Structure 1
């Protein structure tokens, strides 16, 4: 299974010829370092919640213009898709097969934001190997402690570096792929990655430093 990062939380999973895309939002596309054409041939798109850094209707439509991918999401995002005349498969809780992928959907609570309502949000475990907690740092996912790979928030307006590291320390994954940092400058990301890597290496956790658009890891 190959996992490629296209800035922020836009992630492409590839396995047995199937391409599964998560959260193509504004922070990935806004500077045109990522474009819809990069996702020609994508078979499926999963959207975790309605925040613009994870979901943008025009971006979604631009990707669907170059591929016939099936959309999967929760009710709140689904309302916006329906208004735009787009069909989707509802996925909010439990196990679902998408091509060769087995996804376990877990309802979770988004971390609190200033003067902002809490959205409906769905975390995912992919092929029993990868945990995508999306924008939560709570103990709701502690049952997945020891997972092979954690997709870990690295910067966020709702979190501190100590809080982020504390969540990952509790989860004790074997590996970490940093996400949710698409609004940060490259020099800042490099600095923070170095700090996180030093912290997690002390515990024997591999921290993947991914800097280039489309950089990937393999499980």
Structure 2
């Protein structure tokens, strides 16, 4: 499996000719660093929740039109995108397979934020190798502890360095890919990664450091 990052929480997973895209949100496209056309060959698009930094209806419409990809998300995501004329396969819990990707869906709670409402959030485990928790450190994720790769939110209104470090240690992944950091300039991203890396190393966790859009790494697939 190949994992490539395209700013913030937008991740593309590749196995052979199959490509799955997570959370192409507005932060990925707002400044032109990523063109939706780069995703014209994805087969599945999975959306963890409906916040605009995780879904961009205009970009999604372009990607789906070019690729014919299947949109996958929970009921709230389906309702939001349905208003924009986009059809979503509702998947909120259990296991389903999309091409080369076997997904386990886990309902979780979004971390507390300054808002009157909390979005419906779904975490996804892919092929028993990669865990995308969305914006959640929920204890229900603990059943996936020891996963090979964890998408780790490292910047957000709902977290501190200490909560990030504690979550990573609790989940015990072999490695992490930092996400939810698309509003930081590159020099600050490097500084953030420099802070986290030695503490993750001490816990036996490797920090991947994708900087430019499309940077990524390979990970062994248990299948």
TM-score in terms of structure 1 length: 0.97
CA contact (8 A) 1:23 1:46 kept: yes
* Cross-structure match for 2:99: 99
SS in 2 for 1:62: helix
TM-score in terms of structure 2 length: 0.95
- Runs of 4+ displaced beyond 4 Å: none
Pairwise CA RMSD = 1.0
- What's the CA shift for 1:209? 1.1
Gaps of 5+ in 1: none
* Cross-structure match for 2:49: 49
CA contact (8 A) 1:138 1:167 kept: no
Cα offsets for 1:181-215 (capped at 9, x unmatched): 00111111100101111111112211111111100
Instruction: Give the 3 Å change call, closer, same or farther, for CA 34–116 of structure 1 in structure 2.
Output: farther
* Cross-structure match for 1:72: 72
- What's the CA shift for 1:82? 2.1
* Matching of residues 138-177 of structure 1 within 5 Å: 138-177=138-177
* Cross-structure match for 1:3: 3
Gaps of 5+ in 2: none
CA distance in 2, matches of 1:198, 1:87: 44
* Cross-structure match for 1:199: 199
- What's the CA shift for 1:168? 0.5
* Cross-structure match for 2:34: 34
**Aligned length in residues:** 219
SS in 2 for 1:38: helix
SS in 1 for 2:187: helix
SS in 2 for 1:65: helix
- What's the CA shift for 1:123? 0.2
